[in-house]
Amino acid sequence: MTKIAQIKKMEDTEEFINILKNNELFIYEEVEGSSIFVKWDGTHFVIKPKSLKMDELNFIDLTVQKFYNQAYIYLHSLPNFVTDLVNTNWWFCFEYFPDNQPANVTYNRVPKNNLILNCIIKGSKWEYDYNELVEYSNLFGVDMLPIVYKGKLSQKQLEVIDLYLNTSEEDIKYLFDNDNFAYFFYKILNPKIDNSFLMNKDNFNDNLEKIIIKIDGKSKYSFEILNPLYQKMNLINSTEYVEIYTLILLKFLEFCQLIDLKKYKITKYTKDELYVEYISLLFNDFMNDTGSSIKKWDFNIPQFFKQDKFKINVGLLFNEDTKNYLLSDEKIEYIFKCILGSFNKKRKKPIGIFNDITISLFNRFVDEIDLLLDDNLKINKEHVFQSGDLKNFKDYFNIKFNVDSKDDIYPDVFDEFGGEEGGDKKGKGGKKKEIPEIEINTKPGIDEKPIK
């Protein structure tokens, strides 16, 4: 991975300035999205959230929340003439924007098709080759790193950067002269640009964390010029939410100890689908048994859950009774989210009101569910884990492309597939390319409105 040299203020900046002076550079704004790592394996896109060490997104993850809907649907809508050009041994690192505020910064708009290509990972090497990033961002139909400057810096630019690095944190505000960090560096590096990335005209990101400098063609090192005035979002004390979360799990666990777990008929064909189906059936009986008391629970739903991107993907549920419960009350939907996202993996240590005994009981129940699901699999388990889960999720969407008279998809991906709003470029034959229409399949159990 790239080694980082963080630069805020230094005793002696001469060596750093000399590095900048003698090299071709590309300098870009740090963008605060949600990192995803994407690989085309020849049949479907493998998507990992946050880190390469994380597990691949599966059907359960996608059902628990809508957060990754747009990235998943878009990537799997890419036609063969795109995926045929993607190296199956590489990982592509994107910043993903489910909306205009995935982190600390509120942007005025989202990037093209909600994605920004950051780098390409080849084996253990993280590559930031400018021309390659341009090529693959065009291929995927997404934005790339927001380059502010490319080339060698002038003497005047070097002097201003040197001045900034040697200005104390207390005096930084005076150096900005009522403008912000982003405006200051954009005007030094590229005064022709009248707004920072994903902002409206004449707007500059007022909470930009850093400017990143890379030596063009040499990805081994990066230099970060940090904004000492950067502020992260204030995190609310989550103790109350953790206690409510574990109380929900405990009540559900207590209920499940009193029933015959084998009485439910589950019919799906992949393990993740079986899990969602099974938990839904358990939840229905849980609500039938304790629903009246659950509705009287006096607790606050976390504020984040009120955002649509964190809601349950109701359209992916198979059980109509479960969907009706969720649509009847936001509190019930939150309870189901906690349950659905928790009983498919063991816990290692106490949390909230869970103690060591509770953890042991919880983990035994997770094992019971796992064995029960294995007994119900109708296809080879290994095949399901390797290819079935995500491919099955794709089957829940109808993805339509505009085609010509021969039923061929318009092929000019570089300029037109997922083009920017307001563009007027034409495809071959003079026909205008439109963004593909994607809508949820209206198979039984899926009744949400189309996603446009």
Residues 389, 279 contacting (CB under 8 angstroms):
no
* Helix then strand then coil, % of the chain, to nearest 5: 40, 15, 40
Which residue do the tokens 């699901």 mark? 373
Q: What is the pLDDT of residue 425?
A: 40
Residues 6+ apart with CB under 8 A from 327: 314, 333
In terms of Cα–Cα distance, which of 25, 15, 4, 8 is closest to 189?
A: 25
Q: Where are the domains of the chain?
A: 3-226, 239-392
Q: Please, what is the Cα angle at 153 between 197 and 146, to 5 degrees?
A: 15
- The separation between the first and the last C-alpha atoms of the chain, rounded to the nearest angstrom, is 37
Tell me how far apart the alpha carbons of residues 47 and 68 are, in angstroms, rounded to a whole number.
Answer: 10
* CATH class of the domain at 3-226: alpha beta
pTM: predicted TM-score of the whole model, two decimal places: 0.79
Q: For 209-228, what is the mean pLDDT?
A: 84
Q: Is 118 helix (H, G, I), strand (E, B) or coil?
A: strand
pLDDT digits (tens, 9 = 90+) for 17-46: 888 888 889 999 999 999 999 999 999 999
pLDDT digits (tens, 9 = 90+) for 107-133: 999 999 999 999 999 998 898 988 999
Give the tokens for residue 20. 């900048």
Give the tokens for residue 329. 């009350």
- Which helix (H) or strand (E) covers residue 75, if one does? helix 69-77
More confident residue, 426 or 187: 187
Lowest mean pLDDT, pick from 45-54, 66-75, 209-218, 266-275:
209-218
Residues 6+ apart with CB under 8 A from 192: none
Q: For 199-206, what is the mean pLDDT?
A: 92
In terms of Cα–Cα distance, which of 101, 55, 115, 63 is closest to 311?
A: 63
The sheet with strand 25-29 has its strands ordered as 3-7, 218-226, 210-215, 25-29, 147-151
